[in-house]
Amino acid sequence: MFLKRLKGKKDGGPEQDNYGLAHGDLGDIGASPKLSDYEVVDTLGTGTFGRVRLCRHRANGRHYALKIMKKTEVVRLKQVEHVHSERRIQATLLHPFIVRMAGSFQDTNNLYMVLELVIGGELFSHLRRAGRFSNETSRMYAAQVVLALQHLHSLDIIYRDLKPENLLIDDKGYLKITDFGFAKEVTDRTWTLCGTPEYLAPEIIQSKGHGKGVDWWALGVLLYEMLAGYPPFFDENPFGIYQKILLGRVECPRHFDANAKDIVRRLLQSDRSKRLGNLKGGADDVKRSKWFKGLDFDALIKREIPPPIVPEIRHPVDTRNFEVYPDSDDESGGAGSPVIVGGEGLFDEFSGVVETKT
Ligand SMILES: Nc1ncnc2c1ncn2[C@@H]1O[C@H](COP(=O)(O)OP(=O)(O)O)[C@@H](O)[C@H]1O
Ligand SMILES: [Mg+2]
């Protein structure tokens, strides 16, 4: 298998990414990580297969976001392959706008991914609270997503789940993409129908086979949603949404800036051979669009441009920017909880070492 990085934790010092940027130490979670190493502090989010919990590593004292996935749910929803590739891909990524992973482990009931804690909440919550974002705020967030997608695509990874729920804001106000549950390493096309209805590109709905172009389409949806406060294609049920996507008619509210309308239309181009980002110039074409004029991407990736929103955080584990979730310990297993019959070996790969490319 592919890619770079992660053979267990290297000792000491900052790690450097492909752009020469230093990343702080994520902390040592030990050679044989397990749930009892952690004290659960709070719930950050609910996922498809379980919760994401704010945890404190008892030995190193650091806080992490622990993504807990119930094996029975993963199997029931036929996502075994996806969780393996989620872990494998997340383990390899090192980028200022992508959530890092410190390690992973499993027990009888669950799979666990130990993630860098991003404390400022989901972009989704900030957007809903604000109603919509200004042109400048949207531009700043979109630019960070473009840089992250450019990085992923340079590694032949398509992300496939771009939406405000998967974009987190850190303590300073910069974005981090989380949730690589649908990410896939592909050089050509792939066929699995996955993603979130409002954000699906027409070629996914039509099962034509899809590639990196779907992320640029989703960027168009995201841009629209940030600027308008609602997505471009919506309906009460997914079928209605799909019909509108396939119809391909995009109406931008009048308050959209002219250059914003232009980039939205060029990203929400049904014909992927004409879609911005999916052309020869790739992500660079997107960066060069008029809407981004004057935005210094090099300074942005170094986090030298002040973020548009700095979240209110009163202490390092202040979860006020996340939704409140009722208490639950439903992933703890216990008597009467379902077990997978005949599933031996299904999750072995989850504990393996992620191979390096070089
Ligand atoms: N690293 C993180 N730091 C803080 N919160 C997180 C982190 N990762 C995920 N979350 C929260 O948990 C939610 C669900 O996690 P996600 O990985 O998106 O799960 P799923 O694949 O089931 O959608 C996110 O929308 C977010 O609110
Ligand atoms: Mg998610």
Each residue's pLDDT tens digit, 235-280? 999 999 999 999 999 999 999 999 999 999 999 999 999 999 999 9
Fold (topology level) of 123-301: Transferase(Phosphotransferase); domain 1 (1.10.510)
Of 16-25, 150-159, 260-269, 291-300, least confident by mean pLDDT is: 16-25
Span 45-57, mean pLDDT? 94
More confidently predicted of 12 and 345: 345
Q: Is 313 in the pocket of ligand 1 (CB under 6 A)?
A: no
- The class of domain 23-119+315-348 in CATH terms is alpha beta
Tens of pLDDT, residue by residue over 53-101, are 999 999 999 999 999 999 999 999 999 999 999 999 999 999 999 999 9
Task: Tell me the three state secondary structure of residue 266.
Answer: helix
Measure 136 CA to ligand 2 centroid, in angstroms: 26
Q: 291-307, pLDDT tens digit by residue?
A: 999 999 999 999 999 99
From the DSSP assignment, how many helices (H) and strands (E) are in the chain?
Answer: 10, 11
**Cβ–Cβ under 8 Å, residues 126 and 173:** no
Backbone angles phi, psi at 129, to 5 degrees: -65, -40
Average pLDDT score over the chain = 91
Ligand 1 atom nearest the C-alpha of 176 is: 1
Written as one letter, the residue type at 101 is M
Closest CA to 9 of 27, 23, 35, 22: 27
Exactly one of 17, 37, 161, 171 is catalytic; name it: 161
Tens digits of per-residue pLDDT, 206-226? 999 999 999 999 999 999 999
Residue 24 has pLDDT above 90, yes or no: no
What's the token pair of residue 317?
A: 């584990």
Mean pLDDT of 159-164: 97
The closest ligand to the CA of 181 turns out to be 1
Residue 355 — pLDDT band, cuts 50, 70, 90?
low
Position 147 pLDDT exceeds 80: yes
Confidence of residue 25 (pLDDT cuts 50, 70, 90): confident
User: Average pLDDT for residues 114-138, to the nearest whole number?
Assistant: 97
Distance CA 219, CA 213 (A): 10
Q: Are the beta carbons of 38 and 113 closer than 8 angstroms?
A: no
Q: Is any atom of ligand 1 closer than 6 Å to the C-beta of 48?
A: yes
Give the type of residue at 76. Answer: R
Candidate of 55, 84, 179 to mutate for ligand 1, largest count of ligand atoms within 8 Å of Cβ? 179
Give distance in angstroms: CA of 13 to centre of ligand 2. Answer: 31
Given a contact cutoff of 8 angstroms between Cβ atoms, the answer to whether 222 and 146 are in contact is no
Query: What pLDDT is recorded for position 334?
Result: 56
Query: Does the Cβ of 74 fall within 6 Å of ligand 1?
Result: no
pLDDT, residue 357, reads 45
Domain layout of the chain by residue ranges: 23-119+315-348, 123-301
Query: CB of 42 closer than 6 A to ligand 1?
Result: no
User: Residue 69 belongs to what H/E stretch?
Assistant: strand 63-70
Which residues are CB-contacts of 163 (< 8 A; sequence separation ≥ 6)?
A: 124, 196, 198, 199, 218, 221, 222
Per-residue pLDDT, 145 = 98
165 lines ligand 1 (CB under 6 A): yes
State the burial class of residue 229 (Cβ atoms within 10 Å of its Cβ: 0-12, 13-18, 19+).
middle
- Residue 244 Cα to ligand 1 midpoint, Å, equals 28
Strand 101-106 relative to strand 167-169, pairing: unpaired
Which of 79, 184, 77, 168 lies closest to 123 in space, CA to CA? 168
Q: Please, which residues have CB less than 5 A from ligand 2, an ion?
A: 166, 179
120 lines ligand 1 (CB under 6 A): no
Model confidence pLDDT, tens digit, residues 169-208: 999 999 999 999 999 999 888 888 888 999 999 999 999 9
